[in-house]
Each structure stands twice: as C-alpha cells, then as structure tokens.
Amino acid sequence: MIKRKPLLILLLNLIFYVNVNTATTQNYIPIKDDFDRSGIPKNILLGSYVGGRSHVKPMLDVVAILIERGYNVTLLASGRYEPSSEYPGLNQITLGPRLGVKELRRTITYEEHYKRFSRFIEISRNGYKETYEKYKKAAIEYNIDLFFCDVLGNDACIDIANNLKKPVVVWSSGLQLTDPVPYKNDPLYGCNISLENESFFERFRCALIQPLQIAYTMGRIGPPAHQLNNIRELMNINTSSGQMPKVSLSLVDTFFGFELPQPLPPNVQEVGPVLSKEYPPLTPELSNFINTHKRVLYVAFGTRFITNTENNNKILQSFVEAINRKIVDGVVWPLIETSKDNFYPTLKLTDGTQMQTLPILNNKHPHIHITKFVPQFAVLNHTNTKLFFSHGGAGSTHESLYTGTPMLVLPLGGDQMGNSQKLKSAGVALTLNELALDVSDILNKMSILLEDEKIKKNIKKMEVLTKINSRRKYRAADLIEYILHSSGLEEYVNDDFLKEWAPAPSRMGFIKANNLDVYGALLGIFLTLIGGIAFKLFKLISNSSSIKIKSKKA
C-alpha cells in the first residue's frame, strides 16, 4: 500500500516538471535595449591640446563606439598622431606641432616637478588665442554639437563650447584635476597622494604652505590665471567670473581598486581603464627574442620625459647586472630617441669590470634587445614577460595591471608621481627616485617584485579588477550619447548640469538641504518650552518667597 505523503510529493514533482517544460517550450520575446537615434545631434569634436597617443588614444577608444553607432567625430589635437587605420571614419585636423615637449625636457632633472607643470601651463596659455581660433573654425566647419575635451591645458576647448552654448564633456586620467578633496593631494606638487596617515604638521604644510609656494612659483614662471582672463576679455570670450566653466560631464580614466576612494558628484564618472579591443602583434624579431628568454624584463619610459645621462647609464648597468645575477634572462627596451649622447661610453660594473655602452645599444649583447618601437601590450601579454620597468604613465599602468605584470616605477613627471604611489599602495609595484637612482636598489627591488608571494597575490586581484572595470568604456559612450540626446531638448538649453544628475542640495540651498530650518524650528520650540517652564518656576518661586515674607511679618 502506497502511503499518502510520498504520493503527494510525486504529484507535486509531476506538476513542477510539466510547468518547467511548458515554460521552456514557450517562445519568449527579447526586450529591445536600443533606441531611435534619428533626432539626436550627430557631430562630436574631440580636442586635446597635449596630443600624443597616451592622451588621445583612450578618448578615441570611447568615440570609436559612437562612430559605430552613426556619430561623426572630428579629432583636433597637437602632434603627428595619425590613427586613421585604427579608427576608420574619423576626421582629423592638427593643432600644429606637438607642443611643450622640448620645454618640458629642458627642465627635467633637478627642479621641482610642479615647476615643470608651471612651464607647461605657460606654454598652453601663451598659445591660447591661436588654439581657440582653430577650435572655433573647426566647430563652424563641422557643425559641432558636442565637445569632448582632454582637460590638461585645454582651456580653449572648454571655452569655445561654452561660448557656442554646446555641451562639453571633459576627460582626465585622475580625479585631482576634476574633483579635488582635502585628504588627497598630488605628488606633482610635493605632497603624498594620500594624507590619511600624515602628521598634523605635514597636513598643515600641504593644505596651507605648499599652495602658497606653488602659486608664487607659477606666477613667477608663467602667466597667472587672471592674465588668461584678460586674453579672454580682449577676444570677447565670456568668462565665468573666476568660477569653473560649465561642464556637462567629467569622465575619468581610472577605477576603484587603483584610485584612492572618494565621494563623487553625479556628473563625475569613473570609466577606466579604457583599453582597445585589439592591439598590434609582436614583430617576428621580438617574438623570437621573447620566446627564447623565460624571464623577460620590459622597459619603457614614454616619450614626453627623459632622465639624464648618469641615470641612463645606471639603468643600463642594472640590466647587465640583473642578467649576470640571473634575476632576469632578457631585456626589451624601446629607445624611441636612441641617441648615443644620452649614455656614457662605458659601464662600471660592481665587480670592477668595465663594459662598452655602444655595442649594447647596437644590439650586440645577446640578452638585451634595443629597438625603436614595441607593441607594448603584446609584450606585456606574453607569458615570458615577468616584470615591467616603467615611468608609470596611465596607459602603461592600465596595460600592466590588465596583463598581471608587476611594475618597477621610475616616475619622471606629470601624473606618473601619483600613479606610482597608487600602485605601491595596491601592493603591485615598487618605486624609484630619479634624483637618487642606485643600481643596488634597482636590483634588490627587481628581485622582490619577482619573488614576493604577497605581490603575486595582489597582482592577481588587480588583474581581475582591471578586466572587470575595462568594460566601462561602453558606459562612457552611453553617457556622451545621452548628453547629445538631452542637448536637443529645450528644457536643458540653459542648465549648468543635467537635471537628472544635479543633487537636490544644488537647488534647495544649504539651509534647506541640511534641514537647518527644521532643526532651527525644533530648537526654537525647545527653547520656548524651556523658557516657559523656567518662567513658571521663577513665578512659583517668587510667589512662594513673597508668601513666606508676609507670613513672617504677620
């Protein structure tokens, strides 16, 4: 005899089976996640005063998505970077020669890093009028609907957008240029990037003393901000009365896990790391070299900054000694400006022997490969590349983290100072000081980076974070597209920011947004009650005292 409980269970299972199979046989209709773009303005201008692959390429990787969606993009940048083959359909206009490179290199060695930046600001402001006119001409010729501006030294791009009443999206590689906060700083200006664990005196120096020194230095070296406003007035360019220009959206090529966390306004969005879908492969010569070496050190310091001859020789000596000590067995070093004058003629090794520099630079050393150009991502992505000796630029940092390659960082200027500290804090890199470079220190840090188990675990964690966050370039394109869509709507014409992104406090004011009027009313009620009670007690005490006095007289 079958018991009732098992029979009930069998019946329920049968019903569930029938329902599941019925559901799977139904033809579901997919949702439509796209929208009609027929009424959206189409023309975007991408502007970069600095130019060059490191600044322009991440922005192009975002607008490439928009080009695929039917938008027209015009690139206006300095230098000779020509990405037509990588980004078909892109219009290109040049701002002129690559700007500021020689001047930056001239002040490279023993001056404070913010003085270099001051020099760059001077160059950009001196060329403001000419740059503005080129932006204006391009905006009219291509009927530009939205400006996508690299923020560094690019006042003219933002100003022309504001004066033509067009939306402007700015781009930067770090949050300090976009949304500074008091507990973070920039090593470019002589303070650590995080002030969380600094002493009171260091925070006092960074908050009050250092800004005054920087203001003095920048005013002495280059034209201060008010001179730029004077130029604007002479050109009949509307200014913001000393306030920040109107910006619809700020996109930042950084990501959590790498960037020090901070709260952000809604119109400031982290969208990094922005990386390309595809990268050029290794050349046959490079492929052969790396395949025949199992522990390769890849070296690259970018093209905007160079160090001095003494440091170059120390770096080259460290490579020879690292190979001799079997720390690494191969070195790949792209020297874009291979100049024999940038090295002393001989290397003096720690064992007392000497080695000629020129044969190494001419690829006579069997384990050191010197070349003019390297497909960097392909090298880093190779399983035999074990360590990256880098200047710490944003692009190099992102590619190294994506491929899980530990870094030895020699920051030479710009955002490299902050990037090196972030990488060190994440436990995936060690740093060097260009003003106190030492061969023994370089070799010791190479060994640590290659052998330390904690660094290996941190590298794996950061690789996952980098790959997850690298998908956000599609969000960046979506947000730009929404700005374009909204710019055609009448209600947004005179708004400083999109209403959807403006928090309530910006409209309510400080008092209402913090309920200070409510708390004030509560305090008033409380004080009134306390006053009333005190007054009653005072009256009672007074009446009691008068009664006692009268009774005594009686």
pLDDT category, 62, cuts 50, 70, 90?
A: very high
Of 323, 301, 303, 291, the closest CA to residue 407 belongs to 301
* Top-confidence residue, 153 or 448: 448
Q: Provide the pLDDT for residue 373.
A: 85
Report the alpha-carbon distance of residue 39 to residue 36 in Å, rounded: 8
pLDDT tens by residue, 510-535: 888 888 888 999 999 999 999 888 88
Is a pLDDT exceeding 80 seen at residue 431? Answer: yes
Q: How far, in Å, CA of 456 to CA of 524, rounded? A: 61
Output the CA–CA distances (angstroms, integers) from residue 45 to 136, 143, 148, 307, in the order listed.
11, 9, 6, 35
| Contact call for residues 382 and 296 (beta carbons, < 8 A) | yes
Of the ranges 149-153, 338-342, 355-359, 480-484, which one carries the lowest mean pLDDT score?
338-342
Contact 392, 419 (CB under 8 A): yes
Of 155 and 413, the one with more pLDDT: 155
Residue 397 is predicted with a pLDDT of 96
In the numeric block, which tokens belong to residue 499?
A: 């209403």
Q: 450 pLDDT exceeds 60?
A: yes
pLDDT at 166 over 80: yes
Per-residue pLDDT at 311 exceeds 70: yes
- Which of 116-125, 292-301, 398-407 is predicted with the least confidence, judged by mean pLDDT? 116-125
First to last CA, the chain: 107
- Paired sense of beta strands 91-96 and 330-334, if any: unpaired
Residue 103's pLDDT band (boundaries 50, 70, 90)? very low
Residue 381: closest CA among 405, 406, 409, 408: 405
Residue 438: pLDDT band by 50, 70, 90 thresholds?
Answer: very high
CATH 3.40.50.2000 for domain 284-469, yes or no, is yes
Average pLDDT over residues 413-421: 87
Residues 194-237 pLDDT 10s: 888 889 999 999 888 888 877 776 665 555 566 777 777 777 77
Residue 109 has pLDDT above 60, yes or no: no
Q: What is the mean pLDDT of residues 371-376?
A: 89
- What's the token pair of residue 363? 């690829």
Tokens (6 digits) for 293: 């070496």
pTM: 0.82
Domain 43-276+474-501, classified CATH 3.30.43.10, yes or no: no
Share the mean pLDDT of the chain. Answer: 83
- Give Cα separations from 119 to 35, 77, 116, 218, 338 (angstroms): 47, 20, 5, 8, 26
The letter for the amino acid at 519 is Y
Q: What is the pLDDT of residue 474?
A: 95
Q: Residue 100 pLDDT more than 50?
A: no
User: What pLDDT, on a 0 to 100 scale, did the predictor assign at position 241?
Assistant: 41
Kindly state the helix (H) or strand (E) to which residue 398 belongs, with its residue range: helix 394-403
Could you tell me where the beta strands, DSSP code E, fall in 192-259? Answer: 249-252
For the cut 60, the answer to whether the pLDDT of residue 492 exceeds it is: no
pLDDT for residue 225: 60
**Could you give the CA distance from residue 245 to residue 175 in angstroms, rounded to a whole number?**
17
User: Between 100 and 139, where is the model more confident?
Assistant: 139
Q: Is residue 339 over pLDDT 80?
A: no
- Average pLDDT (260-270) is 87
Write out pLDDT tens, residues 6-45: 666 666 666 666 555 555 557 888 888 788 888 888 999 9
Q: What is the pLDDT of residues 72-99, one digit of tens each?
A: 999 998 876 666 667 888 888 887 766 5
State residue 88's pLDDT score: 81
Which pLDDT does position 400 carry in this prediction? 97
Backbone angles phi, psi at 250, to 5 degrees: -115, 120
Find the mean pLDDT for residues 446-467: 96
pLDDT of 376: 94
Q: Do 43-276+474-501 and 284-469 have matching folds?
A: yes
* pLDDT given for residue 108 in this prediction: 44
Domain ranges of the chain: 43-276+474-501, 284-469, 503-533
Q: What is the pLDDT of residue 488?
A: 62
Q: 103 Cβ partners below 8 Å, 6+ apart?
A: 119, 120, 123
Return d(Cα 138, Cα 134) in angstroms, integer.
6
